[in-house]
Amino acid sequence: MTAQLIDLQPDNSTLLEESIAGLKATPRHLPCKYFYDAEGARLFEQICELPEYYPTRTEIGILKRFLPDMARLIGPRARVVEYGSGEGLKIRLLLDALQNPAAYTAIDISREQLRLAASQLSRDYPDVDIQPVCADYSSALDLPQPHHVFERTVVFFPGSTIGNFAPEEAVAMMRRFAALARQGQQPGGLLIGVDLKKSRQRIEAAYNDALGLTAKFNLNLLRRLNREVGANFQLDHWQHRAFWNERQGAIEMHLVSQREQVVHINGDSFSFTAGDSVHTENSFKYTPEEFIALAAQAGFRSAGVWTDDESLFSVHYLTL
């Protein structure tokens, strides 16, 4: 069966409104969810292959090693809902490990990447009900019900993307996951990747790679604003900066103005001096105990935690 894409992607008016609101705020910021246009998605795939960027390969290593244990906890005939499905690599590992998975809902904001991945999954997993949904998942969504009967719903949120949300926002997101995990004949759960706290040197290197791909990824957000909402950012007047904020327990990514300049967007003007910063992303890191306590605020309890040998990354299975 060919997967029919459900398109809930926000239009450009949302991008414009949220960007202007962020640039008028104090401190100035831009929403990191808008990194992932087609070029941003392509750059992020390249970043995941970098030697400095440990999260992707480390999480995949954990999944390959421990997925039989995870699959036993999840059980048969599961419906899997993945937030931020990307190119669909990790879901293949999960679907291969699960016993008779019933359905898979892929949610991503990058339409073309989602369409291609869903088409390939439909071909390779003909017995699984594949449902691609193009949407901004940072707010509540009405998701389609599967055509196949399923036992429980398991939310899959790999890649440490939960770290892009401040702790109180992460709890709100996981409460939505908990409501979704209650759908089915049996209570479900949440399989989630969480980046661990480690040395400043190791963390900062992952976000300041030698090839400058993360810098291109960050600056591509300005290129997107120029193309889609008529901004006039001069990209060579901006520089990527990423640093570890020990007090917050997070990497911060910024775009820093290199000179005095004025940027125009849809009739609004924004003045910057040299050194002024626009905050584009946080990436919070947790110890396993910190994250289990955070998830408990959303109604989840820990059923299993797996890490790599260097304790760089963790995968949690949480139940209701």
Residues 106-131: pLDDT tens digits?
999 889 899 999 999 999 999 999 99
Q: Edge-to-edge strand order for the sheet containing 277-284?
A: 238-245, 250-257, 277-284
Query: Residues 6 or more apart from 199 whose CB is under 8 A from it?
Result: none
Cis, peptide link before residue 27, omega less than 30° from 0 = yes
The CATH code belonging to domain 54-198+285-319 is: 3.40.50.150
* Residue 163 confidence (pLDDT): 98
User: What average pLDDT does range 208-236 have in this prediction?
Assistant: 98
Compute the mean pLDDT over every residue in the chain, rounded to the nearest whole number: 96
Q: How confident is residue 241, by pLDDT bands cut at 50, 70 and 90?
A: very high
Tokens 């306590």, located at residue: 293
User: Using one digit for the tens of pLDDT, what is the confidence trace for 254-293?
Assistant: 999 999 999 999 999 999 999 999 999 999 999 999 999 9
* Residue 238 confidence (pLDDT): 98
pTM of the model: 0.96
* Residue 154 confidence (pLDDT): 98
* Residue 1 confidence (pLDDT): 59
How many Å apart are CA 2 and CA 161, to the nearest integer? 29
Least confident of 99-103, 137-141, 182-186: 137-141
CA angle 225, 228, 233 (to 5 degrees): 30
| Residue 102: both structure tokens together | 């019933």
Structural domain spans, the chain: 54-198+285-319
User: What average pLDDT does range 25-32 have in this prediction?
Assistant: 97
Q: Is 2's pLDDT higher than 70?
A: no
Provide, rounded to the nearest whole percent, the portion of the chain with pLDDT above 90.
92
Dihedral (C-alpha) 196, 201, 206, 211: value to the nearest 10 degrees? Answer: -170
Checking phi first, is residue 75 left (phi over 0); if not, alpha (psi -120 to 50) or beta? left
* Residue 12 confidence (pLDDT): 80
